DNA sequence: CAGGCATGCCTG
DNA sequence: CAGGCATGCCTG
């Protein structure tokens, strides 16, 4: 096992209580509530914490390690201030007393409570304990930072959860009538034994969903692919260079597509993870399930992509504010011969659970569950000087005017409107082009909300016809993933500007667009806790581990950086390396917990010592370019602190802060890692002979 | 055989005279001389033509087809003129009387002679018969067009030659002491039986060169990878998306790299082919060969790249003006297990030539040899209106000023200086970064010639210390490939601007930079025919089929289009498709002889009917974008005529001609195709069992 | 649609 | 470094 994650080791006995370990729904709930609190008042978590790890087949393996970490960090960034003020509230917790006595967590978190300084900014209303109704408003996941005291950085990623959780509505997935076997190259086949879907690349595959009772209106299903093996879990699942979509395409990096015309594709600004969201419609009368067609754009074997690593799909049923009502996980193998491979895997699975317990190869050896929350706030300043440019030649003039126009317009428009506009444009375009798989008729189902540059076009939201006026605008609160990445550092803006934005619903006329932050917005419509629509009750106790709202305020209108970065670029290290043709070396970054380009400050020359000379030069140059300001003068660069707070500083080259904004972010991370000895157990392809 | 090339069929008997077929060196010579003539005076080829096809193992296969085509086309494009005036000089020659009586070609070409109208433009000096001294000056390969009368378009690509030609200096390659076999995964091994190199990806592989007599000074070796199979020959060999280099890297698409620090990497503007050029140094005293280390950046199996298609390297020894002094061809297989694969191929090769002649699989079924020449001319106009732009905010101002500055500077600077500047910058940067394979010390060996934007930096040309003052400036005359592509149509400029430029020598102080075309330049320094340096004699009879000079004048300073196109983009359809993730459909384009984006006008909706709906939409949209002007207004678009001249028109959307230039191009193509029934003969991997 | 190859890569 | 698997794809 080549886990890239530095971890302290703790040995423990084999455990059948696995299914009842830390980071359960209660954890989410408690954390959520408490963190809300904290963001606004400095108080912290008192409730006991439990974790519920499912979906990993531990077999009879021996636990080798069981570690829990908790961290609270606060970052504040302002223009023209030469140093990032990182306020480590609680340095970190290297390891917890071994589980399952996770109730001790309560007292631990109590300690944290006192360690956390009162929030400096006060533009937030006091917190409350209703995760569903308040979560979206104050808890987002953008701003994260390296842990202030560790070095090398600990594994503090906000990893996606793969914990199955049917929830109050008994959310379930289904793959139709089980078949006992299938032709070698059927387009897809599901193995009930393995609980695994085998599907050909780019072939539509129906997946069905149901809930026992009707969930609140305007729910949607999010589909997020993750790597199954713990050592890859931190890596974003995205398409290989060979199968990436066209640059204009918001789903260009998405492994999974859905044929539903109302599908929205997201790329999380922080984690860079690619997920899709599709409105959940209750089953037609007489049918038990709601069916959706999905396609997968890469083989699991794709070089420079999945690269023969197992993946899972995480399906979350989320309400309109992004709270998670249920979660299901499905193992998937995208391959050219689903039938053959299913047979092979089932065969080897039979063998593996046969009495003699003969050793098999490569199994998942580590399981990590992480919950994290980050709150975030931001203000904008202005740049109002006037200049004149004299231009020779009409062509240049028109070109420049075009650029100027767009710059001006971007300034005029609320950042989230810009974001929204972009996302809408792109997705509308996609629809117009009938670009969705399986040729499902592409109705313009998303209403237009663009009071900005291009004139508003379509209307008619069939997606959320019942959107209640008293529900909070989810504009800034699309659920997304817990995957860490520093918030607003360095050149990340330019990327973020171009990224897909988190915003599943666009028909939000009840609420005017706003440039305020999520926290600020709470002042406008505070304490909806007790009145969050008809689904208040259900929503109350719902965890949001995977569904942290994200403020699109991160999308800054400052165009300075876009100059050097193509719209197709992705903030993930993966994509960064891809562009350099150095994908092979992603380990180096993963090891340092560097997952997006704005974390590149973490990387120094020595980290690259393991790679060949020439490649190192290329890489280092590219890193420097991203670190140290690109072509433009006055491009402020902020350095990301190393693991130690003392190294944190700003590389501002005399310029103003990007976008002239003030940012404050507080992040909380709770992580548990279980490590266990693998008895060589895995579905494997080799042992057919001795069957 | 799935030859994409529409061809008329002609059956012929098996032939052992293969080695003496059309398109020999004499052909080149004769063509060259005659075409020179034609460009300037309208006269055409009288000499008999012979062709010498080597390097294809025909075995005892039956020739099914033997076709020769000859075409002359002239294109003229001017701003504000609504129609491309295509002057078909000679409609085309569907098929020639069957060979080997190729001497009849003489009379055929005589007919052509009278068919060719006198040249409209007269800014060329009279032609002469010295290919080496005049070739670079008037014959270039930029301007090509679809044949005016055919439909569907015939295979009129300017394909690279793979004809072995030791030449007057007996140019030879060598791979060191032959080994009888090698370990499974040696980094490289050469099979003398197969005359084939097996090499691991990214591993240095020494290849040696020699000549019996010393070639003229300042010679260089060009290395160009091509596909071996005729059906792929038209496709540019480049790296797969997974192995492309970083965008700044001029060699990012080059399959082959050379560790020599003086290596220059080219991407032909017209053909989009990627080659490298390295100075040829005579062997050290006491050694027989000059050794160079090469690396290969893709496996032949790379998906979206070589894709399991056989390749060859074409090594040409070229003099300083780009004339070809010798050519050698080497089969190469880049694979993970060179030893294993060599063994396998040798085994199956033995079998294949065993008496019983058991059928083997997939062999090369068609061989195509093409010679082509295009002359090209261009003039620039001006755009001098003055405008004022008022800008709010310093950031935007500075951003815009930066852009304006660069636009202005581009206008001030001669296009070839810009080009040169860019190429130099990039390659210098590469050296500085010690970016070359194998860590060979990176001396700045290319002198700086940048009288333009960035101040001149390095000096000291160790590359061409003996560059004679009376040699013609090769600035515009780097040898390149005969691969067709339309000249100055549509949005190709924006791509070209960003493309690697053809210019192997940069120490050219004797000649001031010039914006004039190659033809115009001849007026400035006319008739160097008889005085082209010390190597006049040798150079005289040398063919230039692969070494057609290219005018970098193609690189227009007009920045209008760069806006939407990232610098890393490549004009080839391959890359275009790659970006869209639709590489699978390259056939469609190959079939229509569309190889670069500026030929996209050739493609219409129906052509895409074979591909899946969604992909079609993506593709079509992308094509339309490239065809029809991007985001900017006043972006003139010129349509490429379909195979029929009557469909040729300009889609100018009321704008001025791109760059306000007038273009005139004349192209000549002579092509022979041999088609033969394959007795299932090929090196194959399957038959090990029955050994 | 099944058989089986081709070929990068993993494991001993 | 050799054995051998994994897996897309080609051929009947
Ligand atoms: Zn892929
Ligand atoms: Zn490759």
Measure, in angstroms, how far nucleotide C5 C1' is from residue A196 CA: 28
* Residues near B537 by beta carbon (within 8 Å), at least 6 away in sequence: none
Q: What is the pLDDT of residues B132-190, one digit of tens each?
A: 222 222 222 222 222 222 222 233 457 889 889 999 999 999 999 899 989 999 999 99
Mean pLDDT computed over A45-74: 34
Cα B208 to Cα B283: distance, rounded to the nearest angstrom: 9
**Which of these, A301, A300, A304, lies nearest to A240 by C-alpha position?**
A304
Answer yes or no: is pLDDT of A375 > 70: no
Å between A55 CA and nearest CA of chain B: 33
- Residue B614 and residue A387: Cβ atoms within 8 Å? no
The complex scores an ipTM of 0.47
Q: Is A128 annotated as a binding residue?
A: no
- Residue A398 and residue B632: Cβ atoms within 8 Å? yes
Helices of type H across A415-514: 415-432, 492-498
Q: What is the pLDDT of residues B464-489, one digit of tens each?
A: 222 222 232 333 333 333 333 333 22
Q: For residue A658, what is the nearest residue in chain B, using CA coordinates?
A: B395
- Does A259 touch chain B if contact means CB atoms closer than 8 Å? no
Helices of type H across A42-130: 105-115
- Does B579 touch chain A if contact means CB atoms closer than 8 Å? yes
Task: Please tell me whether any atom of strand D lies within 7 Å of the Cβ of B1.
Answer: no
Q: Which ligand sits closest to the CA of B201?
A: 2
- Minimum-distance CB partner of B396 among A407, A433, A437: A407
Q: What local confidence, expressed as pLDDT, does residue A105 receive?
A: 28
Task: Please tell me whether any atom of strand C lies within 7 Å of the Cβ of B676.
Answer: no
Q: In what order do the strands lie in the sheet with A139-140?
A: A85-90, A62-77, A661-677, A366-380, A139-140
- Residue B396 and residue A404: Cβ atoms within 8 Å? yes
Q: What is the pLDDT of residues B431-465, one digit of tens each?
A: 555 443 333 333 222 222 222 223 222 322 222 22
Q: Band of the pLDDT at A619, cuts 50, 70, 90?
A: low
- Minimum-distance CB partner of A242 among B240, B245, B618: B240
Chain CA centroid to CA B477, Å: 13
Å between B288 CA and nearest CA of chain A: 30
User: Counting every residue, how long is chain A?
Assistant: 691
Task: Please tell me whether any atom of strand C lies within 7 Å of the Cβ of B308.
Answer: yes
Q: What local confidence, expressed as pLDDT, does residue B29 receive?
A: 46
Mean pLDDT across chain A, nearest whole number?
Answer: 54
Task: Please tell me whether any atom of strand D lies within 7 Å of the Cβ of A19.
Answer: no
> Between A587 and B497, where is the model more confident?
A587
Q: What local confidence, expressed as pLDDT, does residue A258 receive?
A: 97
- Does A391 touch chain B if contact means CB atoms closer than 8 Å? yes
Mean pLDDT computed over A393-399: 71
Q: Out of A73-77, B270-274, B506-510, give the one with best mean pLDDT.
A: B270-274
Q: What local confidence, expressed as pLDDT, does residue A313 receive?
A: 96
- Does B436 touch chain A if contact means CB atoms closer than 8 Å? yes
Q: What local confidence, expressed as pLDDT, does residue A389 receive?
A: 75
- Residue A560 and residue B408: Cβ atoms within 8 Å? no
Task: Please tell me whether any atom of strand D lies within 7 Å of the Cβ of A308.
Answer: yes
Answer yes or no: is pLDDT of B191 > 90: yes
- Residue A240 and residue B242: Cβ atoms within 8 Å? yes
Least confident of A307-316, A354-363, A506-515, B200-209: A506-515
Q: What local confidence, expressed as pLDDT, does residue A567 receive?
A: 34
Answer yes or no: is pLDDT of B532 > 70: no
Query: Residue closest to C2, CA→C1'?
Result: A184
* CATH code of the domain made up of A172-352: 2.60.40.720
Task: HSE, CB side, 13 Å, CA atoms: give it for residue B628.
Answer: 8
- Which stretch of DSSP H or E encloses residue A667? strand A661-677
- Does A203 touch chain B if contact means CB atoms closer than 8 Å? no
CA separation (Å) from B259 to B205, B206, B240, B256, B434?
Answer: 10, 10, 21, 10, 10
* Residues near B635 by beta carbon (within 8 Å), at least 6 away in sequence: B491, B560, B561, B629, B653, B655
Instruction: Give burial (CB, 10 Å; 0-12/13-18/19+) of B658.
Output: buried
Task: Please tell me whether any atom of strand D lies within 7 Å of the Cβ of B303.
Answer: yes
Q: Band of the pLDDT at B512, cuts 50, 70, 90?
A: very low
Tell me which residues of chain A, numbers 584 to 643, contact chain B at a CB-CB cutoff of 8 Å.
613-614, 617-618, 621-622, 631-634
Residues of A in contact with B613 (CB under 8 A): 434, 439
Decide: B300 and B335 in contact? Cβ < 8 Å: yes
**Which of these, A343, A237, A254, A336, lies nearest to A295 by C-alpha position?**
A254
Q: What is the pLDDT of residues A524-543, one digit of tens each?
A: 232 233 333 333 222 222 33
What percent of chain B stands above pLDDT 90? 25
Q: Is the C-alpha dihedral spanning A279, A280, A286, A287 positive or negative?
A: positive
Q: Is A243 annotated as a binding residue?
A: yes
- Does B356 touch chain A if contact means CB atoms closer than 8 Å? no
Task: Please tell me whether any atom of strand C lies within 7 Å of the Cβ of A1.
Answer: no
Backbone Cα Rg of chain A: 24
Q: What is the pLDDT of residues A289-301, one digit of tens each?
A: 999 999 999 999 9
Cα B346 to Cα B157: distance, rounded to the nearest angstrom: 33
**Cβ atoms within 10 Å, residue A336:** 12
- Residue B435 and residue A617: Cβ atoms within 8 Å? yes
Cα B346 to Cα B352: distance, rounded to the nearest angstrom: 10
**Which of these, B40, B314, B368, lies nearest to B171 by C-alpha position?**
B314
Q: What is the pLDDT of residues B252-262, one digit of tens each?
A: 999 999 999 99
Residue A607 has what DSSP assignment?
Answer: G
Q: What local confidence, expressed as pLDDT, does residue A335 receive?
A: 96
Answer yes or no: is pLDDT of A214 > 70: yes
Q: What local confidence, expressed as pLDDT, does residue A539 receive?
A: 27
- Residue A392 and residue B411: Cβ atoms within 8 Å? yes
Helices of type H across A116-186: 131-138
Domain A573-626 CATH superfamily: Transcription Factor, Ets-1 (1.10.150.50)
Q: What local confidence, expressed as pLDDT, does residue B314 receive?
A: 96
Cα B279 to Cα B292: distance, rounded to the nearest angstrom: 10
Measure, in angstroms, how far nucleotide D9 C1' is from residue A435 CA: 27
Q: What local confidence, expressed as pLDDT, does residue B578 receive?
A: 59
**Ligand 2 center from residue A252 Cα (angstroms):** 20
- Residue A394 and residue B383: Cβ atoms within 8 Å? yes
- Minimum-distance CB partner of A303 among B303, B581, B617: B303
* Residues near A81 by beta carbon (within 8 Å), at least 6 away in sequence: A650, A657
Mean pLDDT computed over B107-126: 29
Query: Residue closest to D11, CA→C1'?
Result: B361
**Which of these, A526, A52, A537, A132, lies nearest to A318 by C-alpha position?**
A132
Least confident of A156-165, B333-342, B351-360: B351-360
Q: What is the pLDDT of residues A241-289, one digit of tens each?
A: 999 999 999 999 999 999 999 999 999 988 899 999 999 999 988 999 9
Task: Please tell me whether any atom of strand D lies within 7 Å of the Cβ of B630.
Answer: no
Q: What is the pLDDT of residues A552-597, one digit of tens each?
A: 222 222 322 222 333 334 556 665 665 665 666 676 666 666 666 6
| Domain regions of chain B by residue span | 172-352, 573-626
Q: What local confidence, expressed as pLDDT, does residue A390 receive?
A: 72
Q: Is A337 annotated as a binding residue?
A: no
- Does B691 touch chain A if contact means CB atoms closer than 8 Å? no
**Which of these, B509, B499, B507, B512, lies nearest to B444 by C-alpha position?**
B507
Cα A72 to Cα A88: distance, rounded to the nearest angstrom: 7
Residues of A in contact with B246 (CB under 8 A): 579-582, 618, 622
Q: What local confidence, expressed as pLDDT, does residue A388 receive?
A: 72
Decide: A439 and B614 in contact? Cβ < 8 Å: yes
Q: What local confidence, expressed as pLDDT, does residue B159 receive?
A: 84
Q: What local confidence, expressed as pLDDT, does residue A623 receive?
A: 59
Q: What is the pLDDT of residues B68-78, one digit of tens each?
A: 333 333 333 33
Q: Is A240 annotated as a binding residue?
A: yes
Position of tokens 């999905």? A294
Answer yes or no: is pLDDT of B241 > 80: yes
Pairing of β B196-199 and β B324-334? parallel
Nearest DNA or RNA nucleotide to B359 (CA to C1'): D11
Answer yes or no: is pLDDT of A181 > 50: yes
Phi, psi values for residue B685, rounded to 5°? -105, 0
**Ligand 1 center from residue B572 Cα (angstroms):** 21
Residue A167 has what DSSP assignment?
Answer: T
B391, B406, B559: best mutation site toward chain A, by most A Cβ within 10 Å?
B391
Contact pairs from chain A to chain B, CB under 8 Å? 211
- Minimum-distance CB partner of B560 among A387, A399, A582: A399
- Does B381 touch chain A if contact means CB atoms closer than 8 Å? no
Measure, in angstroms, how far nucleotide D7 C1' is from residue B302 CA: 14
Q: Band of the pLDDT at A422, cuts 50, 70, 90?
A: low
pTM for the full predicted model: 0.47
Answer yes or no: is pLDDT of B384 > 70: no
Residues of B in contact with A390 (CB under 8 A): 386-389
Q: What is the pLDDT of residues A454-475, one digit of tens each?
A: 332 232 222 222 222 222 233 3
Q: What local confidence, expressed as pLDDT, does residue B478 receive?
A: 33
Task: Please tell me whether any atom of strand C lies within 7 Å of the Cβ of B358.
Answer: no
Decide: A112 and A44 in contact? Cβ < 8 Å: yes
Q: Band of the pLDDT at B619, cuts 50, 70, 90?
A: low
């Amino acid at each position: 096992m080549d886990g890239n994650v530095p971890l302290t080791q703790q040995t423990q006995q084999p455990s059948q209580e696995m299914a009842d370990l830390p980071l359960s729904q209660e954890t989410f709930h408690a954390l959520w509530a408490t963190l809300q609190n904290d963001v606004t008042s400095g108080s912290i978590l008192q409730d006991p914490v439990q974790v519920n790890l499912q979906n990993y087949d531990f077999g009879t393996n021996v636990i080798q390690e069981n570690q829990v970490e908790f961290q609270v960090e606060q970052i504040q960034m302002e223009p023209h201030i030469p140093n990032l003020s990182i306020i480590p509230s609680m340095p970190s917790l290297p390891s917890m007393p071994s589980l399952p006595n996770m109730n001790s967590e309560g007292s631990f978190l109590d300690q944290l409570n006192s360690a956390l300084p009162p929030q400096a900014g006060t533009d937030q209303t006091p917190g409350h304990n209703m995760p569903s109704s308040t979560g979206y408003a104050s808890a987002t996941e953008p701003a994260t930072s390296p842990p202030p005291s560790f070095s090398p950085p600990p594994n503090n990623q906000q990893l996606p959860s793969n914990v199955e959780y049917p929830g109050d509505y008994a959310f379930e997935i289904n793959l139709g009538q089980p078949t006992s076997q299938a032709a070698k190259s059927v387009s897809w086949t599901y193995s009930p034994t393995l609980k695994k879907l085998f599907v050909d690349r780019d072939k539509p595959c129906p997946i069905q969903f149901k809930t026992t009772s009707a969930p609140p209106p305007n729910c949607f299903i999010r589909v997020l692919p993750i790597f199954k093996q713990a050592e890859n879990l931190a890596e974003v699942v995205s398409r290989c260079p060979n199968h990436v979509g066209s640059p204009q395409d918001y789903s260009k990096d998405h492994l999974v597509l859905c044929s539903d015309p109302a599908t929205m594709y997201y790329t999380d600004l922080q984690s860079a993870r690619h997920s899709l969201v599709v409105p959940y419609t209750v089953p037609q009368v007489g049918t038990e399930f709601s069916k959706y067609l999905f396609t997968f754009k890469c083989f699991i074997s794709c070089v420079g992509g999945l690269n023969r690593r197992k993946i899972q799909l995480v399906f979350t049923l989320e309400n309109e504010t992004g709270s998670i009502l249920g979660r299901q996980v499905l193992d998937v193998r995208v391959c050219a011969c689903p039938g053959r491979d299913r047979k092979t895997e089932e065969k080897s699975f039979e063998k593996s659970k046969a009495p003699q317990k003969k050793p098999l190869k490569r199994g998942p050896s580590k399981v990590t569950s992480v919950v994290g929350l980050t709150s975030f706030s931001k203000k904008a300043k202005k740049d109002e000087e006037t200049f004149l440019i004299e231009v020779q030649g009409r062509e240049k003039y028109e070109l420049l005017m075009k650029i100027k126009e767009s710059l001006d317009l971007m300034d005029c428009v609320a950042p989230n409107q810009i974001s929204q506009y972009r996302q809408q444009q792109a997705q509308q375009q996609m629809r117009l082009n009938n670009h969705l798989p399986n040729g499902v008729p592409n109705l313009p189902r998303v209403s237009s909300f663009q009071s900005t540059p291009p004139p508003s076009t379509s209307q008619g939201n069939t997606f959320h016809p019942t959107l209640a006026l008293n529900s909070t605008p989810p504009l800034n609160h699309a659920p997304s993933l817990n995957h860490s990445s520093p918030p607003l550092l360095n050149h990340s803006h330019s990327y973020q500007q171009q990224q897909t934005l988190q915003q599943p619903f666009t028909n939000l006329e009840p609420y005017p667009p706003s440039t305020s932050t999520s926290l600020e917005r709470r002042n406008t419509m505070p304490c909806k806790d007790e009145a969050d629509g008809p689904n208040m009750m259900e929503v109350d106790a719902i965890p949001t581990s995977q569904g942290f709202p994200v403020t699109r305020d991160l999308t800054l209108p400052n165009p300075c950086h876009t100059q050097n970065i193509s719209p197709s670029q992705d903030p993930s290290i993966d994509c960064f390396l891809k562009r350099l043709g150095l994908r092979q070396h992603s380990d180096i970054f993963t090891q340092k917990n560097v997952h997006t380009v704005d974390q590149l400050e973490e990387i120094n020359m020595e980290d690259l010592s393991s790679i060949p000379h020439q490649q190192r030069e290329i890489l280092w140059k590219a890193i420097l370019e991203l670190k140290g300001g690109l072509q433009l003068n006055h491009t402020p660069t902020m350095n990301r602190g190393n693991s130690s707070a003392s190294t944190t500083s700003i590389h501002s080259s005399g310029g103003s802060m990007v976008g002239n904004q003030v940012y404050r972010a507080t992040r909380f991370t709770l992580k548990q890692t279980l490590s266990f000895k693998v008895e060589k157990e895995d579905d494997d392809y080799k042992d057919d002979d001795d069957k």
